[in-house]
Amino acid sequence: MKKDFLAITDFSSSELQYMLERAVILKEEWKQGGNAPILKGKTLGMIFQKPSLRTRVSFEMGMNHLGGNAMYLSPSEIGLGQRESVADVARVLSGYVDAIMARVFSHQHILQLAQWSSVPVINGLSDYNHPCQGMADALTIIEEFGSLKGRKVVFVGDGNNVAVSLMFISARLGADFVITGPEGYDMRQADILKARALCAESGGSVTEVRDVQEAVIGADVIYTDTWTSMGQEEEARKREMVFPPYQVNEALVNLAAKHVIVMHCLPAHRGQEITDDVADGSHSRLFPQAHNRMHAQKAILEYVFK
């Protein structure tokens, strides 16, 4: 039976913990001189509908480190769901490569790829969630604090795809997750309720707080993202009027715990959701977090190929 990696909620806390432990080991192996070629002879086909720096390079290098190959397929080469149906693309690629990673607009395209592909499918991002980012985020927090258990993780911004995966991995691993943002840009209530159900097992919590200053008091992690995500460009001006009170700046960071770390999935719009002094300051973990995409994804790749 093939193993897909589509959403954090598809996995138990022990499965997630195992992959994160493997990420720690694989990262240390790489630092000590290189990983064993456990994916020798394997090829990952990478479908991109959206441009990417971190997703493309981290997956390509991750496959390279593990002895495999990665093949980049641009939006113009495939035209997923337009030039050719998602089902046909999945069935054709399945005969050429050993796994598929896709970075898409519509989450339905990820689900359809997984449905029709005979090889594992990895969700490199959709409009609904970003589970690979969530795994890198968890790895970064674990490196800092040892675990997510009992840590206060505050997401400042709208309830977007990054927030969804961060919330679910926080809920699975026992963190106290708080989301704060302007009215009208909230997380879907169905996802909040789903995460709270997971917290019943892990001992974590999920809270919505409108006042950003109240939200970050005692925070171990402050996490933010761009005010306007890809595909929302027509809303940019409206969002730029609504989100400034939720900027992560030095005054806000000073309300959190002294050991707080600041995270951002990047790319950052400096001067909007985050200021330079925070992004480049002592609390920032933006770049170790970005580098952890590669190491967390190596653990995901190892998992789906097993």
Task: Let me know if residue 89 belongs to a domain.
Answer: yes
Residue 234 has pLDDT above 80, yes or no: no
Tell me, what CATH number does 126's domain have?
3.40.50.1370
Task: Let me know if residue 114 belongs to a domain.
Answer: yes
Do residue 120 and residue 154 come from a single domain? Answer: no
CB atoms closer than 10 angstroms to residue 28: 11
Do residue 210 and residue 252 come from a single domain? Answer: yes
CB atoms closer than 10 angstroms to residue 14: 9
Task: Check residue 230 and give its pLDDT.
Answer: 65
Do residue 218 and residue 88 come from a single domain? Answer: no
Tell me the average pLDDT across 266-281: 97
Task: Check residue 124 and give its pLDDT.
Answer: 98
Question: Is 265 known to be catalytic?
Answer: yes
Do residue 200 and residue 125 come from a single domain? Answer: no
State the Cα torsion 270-272-275-280 to the nearest 10°: -30
The catalytic residue among 130, 264, 283, 295 is: 130
Do residue 248 and residue 282 come from a single domain? Answer: yes
Question: Is 210 known to be catalytic?
Answer: no
Give yes or no for a contact between 69 and 61, defined as CB atoms under 8 angstroms apart.
Answer: no
Tell me the average pLDDT across 161-185: 98
Residue 75 has pLDDT above 90, yes or no: no
Task: Let me know if residue 2 belongs to a domain.
Answer: no
Q: What is the pLDDT of residues 25-71, one digit of tens each?
A: 999 999 999 999 999 999 999 999 988 999 999 999 999 999 999 99
Task: Check residue 229 and give its pLDDT.
Answer: 73
Q: From CA 63, how far away is CA 70, in angstroms rounded?
A: 6
Do residue 158 and residue 276 come from a single domain? Answer: yes
The catalytic residue among 137, 225, 289, 297 is: 225
Task: Check residue 231 and give its pLDDT.
Answer: 63
Question: Is 285 known to be catalytic?
Answer: no
Do residue 180 and residue 85 come from a single domain? Answer: no
Do residue 298 and residue 256 come from a single domain? Answer: no
Q: From CA 100, how far away is CA 91, in angstroms rounded?
A: 11
Task: Check residue 279 and give its pLDDT.
Answer: 98
Phi (first) and psi of residue 72, to 5 degrees: -85, 130
Do residue 249 and residue 139 come from a single domain? Answer: yes
Task: Let me know if residue 1 belongs to a domain.
Answer: no
The catalytic residue among 109, 285, 293, 295 is: 293
CB atoms closer than 10 angstroms to residue 197: 12
Q: What is the pLDDT of residues 128-149, one digit of tens each?
A: 999 999 999 999 999 999 999 9
Do residue 158 and residue 176 come from a single domain? Answer: yes
The catalytic residue among 4, 158, 176, 265 is: 265
The catalytic residue among 54, 65, 103, 264 is: 103
Task: Check residue 233 and give its pLDDT.
Answer: 72
Q: What is the pLDDT of residues 206-224, one digit of tens each?
A: 999 999 999 999 999 999 9
Question: Is 133 known to be catalytic?
Answer: yes
Compute the mean pLDDT over every residue in the chain, rounded to the nearest whole number.
96
Do residue 88 and residue 164 come from a single domain? Answer: no
Do residue 179 and residue 137 come from a single domain? Answer: yes
Task: Check residue 136 and give its pLDDT.
Answer: 98
Task: Check residue 253 and give its pLDDT.
Answer: 98
Total of domains in the chain: 2
Task: Let me know if residue 204 belongs to a domain.
Answer: yes
Q: From CA 265, how far away is CA 286, in angstroms rounded?
A: 7
The catalytic residue among 49, 112, 133, 297 is: 133
Task: Let me know if residue 203 belongs to a domain.
Answer: yes
Residue 278 has pLDDT above 70, yes or no: yes
Give yes or no for a contact between 48 and 70, defined as CB atoms under 8 angstroms apart.
Answer: no
Is residue 149 classed as helix, strand or coil in its secondary structure? coil
213-237 CB burial, b ≥16 within 10 A, e <16: eebbeebbbbbbbbbbbeeeeeeee
Out of 74-78, 167-171, 201-205, which region has the weakest mean confidence (pLDDT)?
74-78
Residue 84 has pLDDT above 80, yes or no: yes
Task: Let me know if residue 3 belongs to a domain.
Answer: no
Question: Is 56 known to be catalytic?
Answer: no
State the Cα torsion 98-101-104-109 to the nearest 10°: 40
- Compute CA distances 136 → 108, 156, 169, whole Å: 23, 18, 11
Task: Check residue 237 and give its pLDDT.
Answer: 87
Task: Let me know if residue 44 belongs to a domain.
Answer: yes
pTM listed for this prediction = 0.97
Tell me which residue range forms the domain holding 190.
133-289
